């Protein structure tokens, strides 16, 4: 039985109350949006047109330019609201935040962890009428009120702030450990080229959605307008206010550009929520008091908001979005950047002078002494790999005389032979071609090829089998080889390969493995289809150490999980980037060891945290039950970290298995723990990805004006659960961003049966299906196991959802409309579930043992779960890499549909803003380089010489070769120095 909220009794209405009510109704009538009379249309004029400049002179467009009140009274000019609504007298309606009482504001801030702020600050306009009364004068206009500083924030160019110094939010101790001198040189053309290549199509998706909203709005017959000092406004502009993040009142998604606003109370909804309301789609969330049946907040006068009465609002001023979209397509054409969007734009020819500047080696950005490989070097390496493949086979227990090994060698030799004929400008797939093809041909039937290497959700068909995609990819490579070579020989080879694959699949069926290719997902249906952009996801790469040493000779590394998991052995080796990126772009996790050797050991000891923060109270979680243990002094957690007898007890007197999650929960890690933050930043591997302002961390592209997303670091501290096999420290879930998780301390309980804990931890490692090399780490090399991870490919997420839903139905559970078994974090996949997932769906994850000093890199959207075997202190840092930006984009849409109870419901990442400004900064670099290059070519043209012709008296010149400037027409060819022969003539 749901409790009905109590209503306060009303007092008898007095004469004063009646008068106040009449004034309020009069205000509402004056400010109610009305149908258009004479609508302002500045969409076809730039912000600096003469007409707009003249209009701008008749109004105050910025808060800084606001004159004194006496001048405003005499001039009657409109100005921007520069304070809270409650500070103004006259016929001024108050926004929904200013109407709240102090108690209501504190309650909202405590529940949603936000600061209540006036909705009309720097947004609404006011003016004094002829009688001297302050009245409302509409809102900012996107073309008239946007000045040069507003435009520079959103457009590429020399005046745009490419990278801002953002150290003012740090303490003094943190500042000296933070790199502050960022300039254009840190963001070069290689990085700009790669970012546009990775992010360009996602940007097109944003523009398409924004354009459709604008077009649909302009075609409406019943456009709602609001009266201003210029006329009737149909589109209003909300200027970005520093430190304020605009969010949808329904789904908490960060507002990017177009959205809808109530001009009376300031209520806002995003494009998706607006369209859902128009279609009558119900929202599966608690309506509660103050909301209608669609969960929309009620207006100030308790009336229901309707889509027809909301005002279209934009955040990006003028036509900056259209301009940057046009410049992006021009840039991609001129620089020869691959694109897969369906935009109908005029194609410019590729400028070879610009394209030749791109070396295609992003590693050189991170490592100055990294040398580019020539085609000869690559060919020699591939030949060496082919020659030494028999040794790698012996290392994996394969017979070098096996017919399958011979078959793999023949296929690879023919592949290399025909590789030189390829015109592809990308060799992303070449690094993994050898090992993937060999593994396909020589693997035993019971061994799966990676964890779902076929395309799957959310980007592709969710019913594609995991292992078959790799098989089809390899078979496709062989077919291409067959076409290039002699048909008779290669047809025979293809027949043999097909026979081998068919025989392997048949044996797999006999062994009880179900044919997952034809299996449909019966218990999970995706609510929306994600647009397919770009190439198919790259297949999972399986390598052997013999092969990879030839490709990456200067990088100490090894391979775990039967060749699927890369383990880097030197965390600060500057040459780690190339091999890391080759794995990362395929969506595969990476393990980096020995990070703890660069940390200050005493800073990360439990006693250190107990001494520094023991008296502070924080919420704990009992992993045995999942229940919250609220507001406990942290010394109670830290004192029991390595002493079981000092741990908190439950109602039955049993020691609780506690977890201190996401600490510090409020505030910046850099400000609360400045010394530890500095120590961590100096030790994190692959810092160009993991640092806050790393060049490959796209979150660093947000300008200083925007609120920086909270990407950590966060600490994850928990007791070990080796004695409880079915209790996970962190249940299966996924994150919207990439993450690196570092094990900074591992402790074993000093009291109780210590040996039992150690043996149970080793038993858990064996039962978790860890590979032999992982087992040797803890049994022979003496490393202490900290946590057990199971990570799955992002493309297998929907298959996992389908299996978990089927289990829930079997257990008699009722699935809620917006239920999501991964986002709910309600399951920990034990061995039985993991076996079922592989047997029924062909999905096999990565079983990773995290020891002291290990850093686990988890790609965005990859489902994963963690079980602490011993007591662990871990630190995690989130980042946004160019390789996984598409997953971040789609996951933001997924999280919109989650209820308010989910921690991932709120869009803290601001992924659309990150994509926009990453593209903007990249265009700034490429356009600047283009101007410099063309200017240099123009200045380097040989000076022409002229001579008087004896016959016609006209100047003559000789030209040798075509023009070097592809942007010039053939008529203006560069003139060469006159030859002796011509001189004689």
CB 228 within 8 A of CB 882: no
Query: Where does the pLDDT of residue 467 fall: very low under 50, low under 70, confident under 90, or very high at 90 and above?
Result: very low
Q: Higher pLDDT residue, 437 or 368?
A: 437
CA 898, CA 823: separation in Å to the nearest integer?
A: 8
CB 451 within 8 A of CB 466: yes
Last residue of some domain: 271, 287, 320? 320
Highest mean pLDDT among 533-547, 574-588, 964-978: 574-588
- Residue 384: pLDDT over 80: no
Question: Which strands, in side-by-side order, build the sheet including 590-592?
Answer: 557-560, 565-568, 590-592, 855-858, 738-747, 871-879, 714-718, 658-663, 617-622, 627-633
- Torsion sign across C-alpha atoms 603, 606, 607, 608: positive
CA 79, CA 59: separation in Å to the nearest integer?
A: 6
Please tell me what DSSP assigns to residue 602.
Answer: G
Asked whether residue 145 is domain-assigned, the answer is yes
Query: Where does the pLDDT of residue 572 fall: very low under 50, low under 70, confident under 90, or very high at 90 and above?
Result: very high
At 961 the pLDDT is: 40
- Residue 629: pLDDT over 70: yes
Give the Å distances, CA to CA, from 259 to 436, 476, 581, 617, 706: 47, 46, 37, 40, 18
At 355 the pLDDT is: 86
Mean pLDDT of 782-791: 92
Lowest mean pLDDT among 219-223, 426-430, 527-531, 816-820: 426-430
CA 701, CA 164: separation in Å to the nearest integer?
A: 9
CB 119 within 8 A of CB 99: no
Mean pLDDT of 591-616: 94
CB atoms < 10 A from the CB of 476, how many?
10
Lowest mean pLDDT among 398-412, 585-599, 797-811: 398-412
Q: Higher pLDDT residue, 31 or 66?
A: 66
Highest mean pLDDT among 253-257, 371-375, 725-729: 253-257
SS3 sequence of 968-981: CCCCCCCCECCCHH
Last residue of some domain: 271, 300, 320? 320
Q: What are residue 846's phi and psi, to 5 degrees?
A: -105, 120
At 644 the pLDDT is: 84
% pLDDT > 90, the chain: 33
CB atoms < 10 A from the CB of 569, how many?
14
At 344 the pLDDT is: 76
At 627 the pLDDT is: 87
The structure tokens listed for 298 are 């009620």
Which three-class secondary structure state does DSSP give residue 896? Answer: helix
- Residue 895: pLDDT over 60: yes
CB 508 within 8 A of CB 422: no
SS3 sequence of 37-103: CCECCCCCCCCCCHHHHHHHHCECCCCCCCCCHHHHHHHCCEEECCCCHHHCCCCCCCCCCCCCCHH
- Residue 431: pLDDT over 90: no
- The model's pTM: 0.77
Place of tokens 């507003």: 150
pLDDT in tens, 944-980: 444 444 444 444 444 444 444 444 444 444 434 333 4
Query: Where does the pLDDT of residue 814 fall: very low under 50, low under 70, confident under 90, or very high at 90 and above?
Result: confident
CB 856 within 8 A of CB 583: no
Lowest mean pLDDT among 139-153, 274-288, 513-527, 857-871: 513-527
Asked whether residue 273 is domain-assigned, the answer is yes
Mean pLDDT of 657-662: 85
Alpha helices in 188-254 (DSSP H): 189-218
What's the domain count of the chain? 2
Nearest Cα residue to 863 out of 899, 904, 823: 823
Pairing state between β 231-233 and 224-228: antiparallel
Please tell me what DSSP assigns to residue 453.
Answer: -
CA 689, CA 705: separation in Å to the nearest integer?
A: 22
pLDDT in tens, 106-138: 655 554 545 557 899 999 999 998 888 899 999
CA 193, CA 923: separation in Å to the nearest integer?
A: 9
Last residue of some domain: 296, 320, 344? 320
Asked whether residue 236 is domain-assigned, the answer is yes
At 595 the pLDDT is: 96
Place of tokens 């996951």: 891
CA 752, CA 758: separation in Å to the nearest integer?
A: 12
Asked whether residue 46 is domain-assigned, the answer is yes
The structure tokens listed for 209 are 């959605």
Please tell me what DSSP assigns to residue 247.
Answer: B
CB 162 within 8 A of CB 184: yes
The structure tokens listed for 143 are 């073309």
- Residue 371: pLDDT over 70: no
Query: Where does the pLDDT of residue 578 fall: very low under 50, low under 70, confident under 90, or very high at 90 and above?
Result: very high
CA 39, CA 223: separation in Å to the nearest integer?
A: 9
Place of tokens 């609504």: 85
- Residue 204: pLDDT over 70: yes
The separation between CA 813 and the C-alpha centre of its own chain, rounded to angstroms, equals 33
Pairing state between β 785-791 and 864-868: antiparallel
Q: Higher pLDDT residue, 188 or 577?
A: 577
Lowest mean pLDDT among 265-274, 423-432, 870-879: 423-432
- Residue 104: pLDDT over 80: no
At 882 the pLDDT is: 92
Asked whether residue 665 is domain-assigned, the answer is no
Mean pLDDT of 824-835: 90
As a residue count, the chain comes to: 985
- Residue 849: pLDDT over 90: yes
% pLDDT > 70, the chain: 65
Give the Å distances, CA to CA, from 361 to 191, 347, 580: 9, 26, 13
Peptide bond preceding 38: is omega within 30 degrees of 0, i.e. cis? no
Beta-bridge mates of residue 17: none
What per-residue string of b and e applies to 246-272 under the rule 16 or more CB within 10 Å gives b?
bbbbbbbbbbbbbbbbbbbbbbbbbbb
Query: Where does the pLDDT of residue 187 fall: very low under 50, low under 70, confident under 90, or very high at 90 and above?
Result: confident
Q: Quick one: which H or E segment has residue 628?
A: strand 627-633
469: region left, alpha or beta (phi > 0 left; psi from -120 to 50 alpha): alpha
pLDDT in tens, 286-334: 556 778 888 899 988 788 999 989 999 999 999 999 999 999 999 999 9
Query: Where does the pLDDT of residue 436 fall: very low under 50, low under 70, confident under 90, or very high at 90 and above?
Result: very low
At 704 the pLDDT is: 87
CA 431, CA 630: separation in Å to the nearest integer?
A: 51
CA 433, CA 481: separation in Å to the nearest integer?
A: 13
- Residue 180: pLDDT over 60: no
Beta-bridge mates of residue 742: 855, 875
CA 924, CA 327: separation in Å to the nearest integer?
A: 10
Asked whether residue 256 is domain-assigned, the answer is yes
Question: DSSP labels for 507-546?
Answer: HHHHTT----SS---SS---SSPPPP-SSPPPPPP---HH
At 280 the pLDDT is: 80
Question: Which strands, in side-by-side order, build the sheet including 124-128?
Answer: 79-80, 124-128, 134-139
- Residue 420: pLDDT over 50: no
Mean pLDDT of 671-692: 94
CB 852 within 8 A of CB 784: yes
At 69 the pLDDT is: 86
User: Rounded mean pLDDT of the chain?
Assistant: 75
132: region left, alpha or beta (phi > 0 left; psi from -120 to 50 alpha): left
For the chain, the C-alpha Rg in angstroms (whole number) is: 32
- Residue 597: pLDDT over 70: yes
Nearest Cα residue to 647 out of 745, 756, 750: 750
At 826 the pLDDT is: 86
- Residue 412: pLDDT over 50: no
Query: Where does the pLDDT of residue 171 fall: very low under 50, low under 70, confident under 90, or very high at 90 and above?
Result: very low
The structure tokens listed for 845 are 């994850």
- Tell me which residue range forms the domain holding 289: 15-160+213-320
Query: Where does the pLDDT of residue 626 fall: very low under 50, low under 70, confident under 90, or very high at 90 and above?
Result: confident
- Residue 688: pLDDT over 60: yes
Highest mean pLDDT among 213-227, 431-445, 930-944: 213-227
- Could you tell me the end-to-end alpha-carbon distance of the chain, in angstroms, rounded to an integer? 108
Q: Higher pLDDT residue, 382 or 770?
A: 770
């Amino acid at each position: 039985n749901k409790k009905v909220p109590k209503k306060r009794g009303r007092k008898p209405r007095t004469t004063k109350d009646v008068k106040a009510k009449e004034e309020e109704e009069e205000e509402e009538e004056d400010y109610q949006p009305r149908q258009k009379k004479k609508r302002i249309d500045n969409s076809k004029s730039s912000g600096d047109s003469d007409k707009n400049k003249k209009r701008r002179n008749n109004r105050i467009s910025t808060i800084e330019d606001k004159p004194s009140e006496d001048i405003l009274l005499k001039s009657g000019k409109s100005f921007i609201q520069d304070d809270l609504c409650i500070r103004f007298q006259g016929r001024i309606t108050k926004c929904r935040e200013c109407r709240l009482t102090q108690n209501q504001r504190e309650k909202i801030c405590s529940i949603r962890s936000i600061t209540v702020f006036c909705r009309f600050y720097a947004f609404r306009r006011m003016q004094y009428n002829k009688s001297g009364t302050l009245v409302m004068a509409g809102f900012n206009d996107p073309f008239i009120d946007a000045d040069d500083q507003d435009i520079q924030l959103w457009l590429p160019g020399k005046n745009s702030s490419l990278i801002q110094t953002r150290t003012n939010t740090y303490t003094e101790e943190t500042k000296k450990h933070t790199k502050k001198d960022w300039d254009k040189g840190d963001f070069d053309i290689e990085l700009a080229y790669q970012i546009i290549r990775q992010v360009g199509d996602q940007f097109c998706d944003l523009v398409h959605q924004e354009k459709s909203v604008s077009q649909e709005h302009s075609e409406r017959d019943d456009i709602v307008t609001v009266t201003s000092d210029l006329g009737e406004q149909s589109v209003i502009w909300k200027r970005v206010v520093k430190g304020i993040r605009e969010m949808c009142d329904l789904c908490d998604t960060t507002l990017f550009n177009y959205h809808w606003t109530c001009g009376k109370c300031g209520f806002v909804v995003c494009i998706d929520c607006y369209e859902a309301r128009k279609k009558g789609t119900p929202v599966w969330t608690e309506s509660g008091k103050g909301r209608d049946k669609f969960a929309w907040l009620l207006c100030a006068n308790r009336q229901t908001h309707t889509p027809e009465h909301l005002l279209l609002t934009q955040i990006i001023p003028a036509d900056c979005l259209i301009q940057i979209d046009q410049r992006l397509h021009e840039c991609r054409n001129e620089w020869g950047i691959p694109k897969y969007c369906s935009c109908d734009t005029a194609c410019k020819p590729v400028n070879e002078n610009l394209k030749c500047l791109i070396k295609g080696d992003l590693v050189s950005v991170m490592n100055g002494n990294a040398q580019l490989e020539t085609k000869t070097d690559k060919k020699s390496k591939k030949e060496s790999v082919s020659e030494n493949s028999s040794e790698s086979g012996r290392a994996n227990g394969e017979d070098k005389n096996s017919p399958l090994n011979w078959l793999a060698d023949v296929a690879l030799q023919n592949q290399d032979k025909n590789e030189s004929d390829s015109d592809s400008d990308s060799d992303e797939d070449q690094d993994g071609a050898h090992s993937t093809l060999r593994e396909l041909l020589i693997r035993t039937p019971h061994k799966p090829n990676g964890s779902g290497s076929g395309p799957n959700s959310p980007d592709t068909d969710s019913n594609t089998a995991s292992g078959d995609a790799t098989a089809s990819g390899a078979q496709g490579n062989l077919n291409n080889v067959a076409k290039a070579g002699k048909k008779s020989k290669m047809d025979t080879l293809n027949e043999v390969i097909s026979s081998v694959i068919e025989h392997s699949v048949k044996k797999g069926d006999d062994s009880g493995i179900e044919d997952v290719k034809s299996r449909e997902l019966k218990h999970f249906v995706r609510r929306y289809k994600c647009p397919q952009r770009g190439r198919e996801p790259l297949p999972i790469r399986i390598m052997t150490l013999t092969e990879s040493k030839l490709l990456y000779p200067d990088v100490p590394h090894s391979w775990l999980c039967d060749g699927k998991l890369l383990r880097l052995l030197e965390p600060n080796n500057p040459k780690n980037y190339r091999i890391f990126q080759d794995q990362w772009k395929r969506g595969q996790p990476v393990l980096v060891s020995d990070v703890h050797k660069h940390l200050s050991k005493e800073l990360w000891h439990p006693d250190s945290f107990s001494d520094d923060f023991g008296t502070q109270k924080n919420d704990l979680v009992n992993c045995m039950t999942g229940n919250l243990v609220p507001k406990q002094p942290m010394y109670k957690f830290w004192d029991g970290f390595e002493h079981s007898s000092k741990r908190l007890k439950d109602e039955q007197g049993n020691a609780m298995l506690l977890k201190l999650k996401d600490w510090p929960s409020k505030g910046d890690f850099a400000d609360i723990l400045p010394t530890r933050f500095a120590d961590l930043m100096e030790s994190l591997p692959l810092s160009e990805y993991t640092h806050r302002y790393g060049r490959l961390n796209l979150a660093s592209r947000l300008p200083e004006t925007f609120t920086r997303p909270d990407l950590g670091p966060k600490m994850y501290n928990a007791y070990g659960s080796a004695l409880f096999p079915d209790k996970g420290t962190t249940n299966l879930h996924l994150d919207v961003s990439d993450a690196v998780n570092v094990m900074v301390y591992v402790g074993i309980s000093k009291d109780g049966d210590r040996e039992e804990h150690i043996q149970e931890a080793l038993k858990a490692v064996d039962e978790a299906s860890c590979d032999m090399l992982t087992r040797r780490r803890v049994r022979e090399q003496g490393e202490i196991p900290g946590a057990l991870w199971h990570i799955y490919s992002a493309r297998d997420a929907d298959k996992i959802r389908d299996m978990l839903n089927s289990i829930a139905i079997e257990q008699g559970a009722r699935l809620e409309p917006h239920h999501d078994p991964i986002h709910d974090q309600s399951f920990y996949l034990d061995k039985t579930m993991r076996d079922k997932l592989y047997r029924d769906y062909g999905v096999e994850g990565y079983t990773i043992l995290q020891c002291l000093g290990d850093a686990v890199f988890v790609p965005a959207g990859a489902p994963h779960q963690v079980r602490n075997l011993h007591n662990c202190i871990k630190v995690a840092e989130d980042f946004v890499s160019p390789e996984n930006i598409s997953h971040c984009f789609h996951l933001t849409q997924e999280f919109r549909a989650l209820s308010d109870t989910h921690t991932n419901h709120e869009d803290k990442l601001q992924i659309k803003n990150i994509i926009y400004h990453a593209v903007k900064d990249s265009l700034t670099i490429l356009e600047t380089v283009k101007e410099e290059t063309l200017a240099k070519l123009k200045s380097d043209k040989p000076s022409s010489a002229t001579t008087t012709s004896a016959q016609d008296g006209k100047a003559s010149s000789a030209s040798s070769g075509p023009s070097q400037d592809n942007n010039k027409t053939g008529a203006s060819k560069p003139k060469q120095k006159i030859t002796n022969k011509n001189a004689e003539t």
